[in-house]
Amino acid sequence: MRLPIFPSEKRTYADRVTGVTMHQLTNHMAHSYHLYFTNPGWWDGDRRLLFGSDRGNSSNLYSIELASGALTRLTDNPPGTAGSYQGASINPVRDEAYFWRDRRLIAIDLHSGQQRTLFDCPDGWDASGTNCTADGRFVCGVLRQQLDVGPVDLGAGYIGFHEIFAAHPLCRVICVPTEGASQQAETLHEEQNWIGHVNTSPRQAQLLTFCHEGPWHLVEQRMWVLDRHSGRVWKLRPQQPGEAVGHEYWMTDGATIGYHGKRHEEAFYGFIRYDNTKGIERPFPHDSNHFHSNTPELIVADGPQRGLTPYVLLCRFDGAKFEGPRVLCVHRGSRHIQHLHIHPRFTPDGRQVLFTADPRGYGQLFLAEVPPFEDLPTLEQVSA
């Protein structure tokens, strides 16, 4: 099967506030968005990037060749097909990706587009999230028992979010082999709490994190670690009363996990090893929705939703305190639906920041070049 290729939509320009070199990767009158910020979307030796798009009145998975900007459609869903590829993930040892479609866990060859079913979600359950283990042998996700809690539309304003949390559905963390045709899922962990955001360590194939999902201020302990080999589960950075913590992500060493939160309305950012050692936590005066970093030294954030700070921000950690934030660029994103969350994250080499924004009404993908930290203006300077 020959995959359809479309012309480049890429344009390069200087950010109007900071002068940083910007690359707009997509430009179509439909929403396009990169994978969730905990799921790296680069493949083919980091020369290509996966993204989802609703162009042609259909949700499909696409790939962009970063140098040329050429676009390839990897799936071919009929018009009127709605869905999300934000939870897709890539195998770190071969060019294959995974996603849920029609309650089936699908593997797709990123060169040919050939698909195969790895697992069928059983009746009475819903499935979410994919993340591949560091050895490429298993893809992990979550099964949640179906409950009648009224209207649910988590992608558009978190409708039903509180109701699912309050129902304490039975949930399972599962892993499925990426090779063979057994279509068997191993249950790694099961409990009567809403589980989400299964994230595998990029270096240690036995380790993953998951979260207790729900309104942050109501969740007693958000972040958890699971060792697949031993079956042991433990709290990551145990929470104290009055704290709201989350958006945990692995750094590239496969051992350090970043996160952010609030303590009695005081914002903070922190990072800690999976075994709860070497933890650092510092006040973060300018709260943000999401944070990402490859290492603890340089952190990207998207600004708070309240107030709609329209900037992508960088902070530097000097070993004792955070410097900044400095303004990398304007995003001017609405964050109106899940696909339009900014979700900034560094490229694997740390030289650029990828994000999604809809400054002209449709979600598009952007890459911002990262200059020396001192060359960027402070938030106070651009807000004056």
User: Distance (Å, rounded) from C-alpha 41 to C-alpha 346?
Assistant: 11
Task: Tell me if residue 129 falls in helix, strand or coil.
Answer: strand
Q: Are 66 and 365 in contact (CB under 8 A)?
A: no
Angstrom distance (rounded) from CA 222 to CA 196: 10
CA–CA dist 218, 225 (Å, integer) = 20
Instruction: Take residue 42 and report the two structure tokens written for it.
Output: 């680069």
Radius of gyration of the chain (CA): 20
List, in order, residues 6 or more apart from 342 with CB less than 8 Å away. Answer: 289, 290, 302, 303, 312, 331, 333, 335, 355, 356, 357
Q: Which of 320, 314, 324, 321 is nearest to 344 (CA)?
A: 314
DSSP result, 226-243: EETTT--EEESS---TTE
Residues 337, 237: Cα–Cα separation, whole Å: 30
User: What is the pLDDT, as a whole number, of residue 307?
Assistant: 58
Q: Calculate ∠ Cα 207-120-177, nearest 5°.
A: 35
| Contacts of residue 179, Cβ cutoff 8 Å, sequence gap at least 6 | 137
Judging by beta carbons within 10 Å of its beta carbon (0-12, 13-18, 19+), is residue 301 exposed, middle or buried? buried
Interatomic CA distance for residues 74 and 123, integer angstroms: 28
pTM score: 0.96
What pLDDT was estimated at residue 40? Answer: 96
36 DSSP 8-state letter: P
- Residue-range domains of the chain with CATH: 1-47+298-384 (no CATH), 87-283 (2.130.10.10)
- The C-alpha atoms of residue 227 and residue 219 are separated, in whole angstroms, by 22
DSSP E strands, 218-289: 223-227, 233-235, 243-250, 256-263, 266-273, 280-283
Q: How many CB atoms lie within 10 A of CB 124?
A: 10
Q: Which residues pair with 280 in a beta bridge?
A: 271
d(CA 61, CA 50): 7
The SS3 of residue 374 is helix
In the chain, which residue ranges form alpha helices assigned H by DSSP? 161-167, 379-383
Residue carrying the six token digits 């943000």: 288
Q: How far apart are CA 212 and CA 223, in angstroms?
A: 7
The Cα–Cα gap between 352 and 258 comes to 19
Residue written as token pair 């490859």 = 294
pLDDT per position in the chain (384 positions), as tens? 689 999 999 999 999 999 999 999 999 999 999 999 999 999 999 999 999 999 999 999 999 999 999 999 999 999 999 999 999 999 999 999 999 999 999 999 999 999 999 999 999 999 999 999 999 999 999 999 998 888 877 777 788 888 999 999 999 999 999 997 667 899 999 999 999 999 999 999 999 999 999 999 999 999 999 999 999 999 999 999 999 999 999 999 999 999 999 998 899 999 999 999 999 999 887 778 999 999 999 999 998 766 557 999 999 999 888 898 999 999 999 999 999 999 999 999 999 999 999 999 999 999 999 999 999 999 889 976
Q: Output DSSP code: residue 103.
A: T
Q: Report DSSP letters for 275-296, one per residue.
A: TS-S-EEEE-SS--S-EE-SST
Tokens representing residue 2 in the block: 């020959």
Run of H or E residues at 317: strand 311-317
Q: Bridge partners of 207?
A: 227
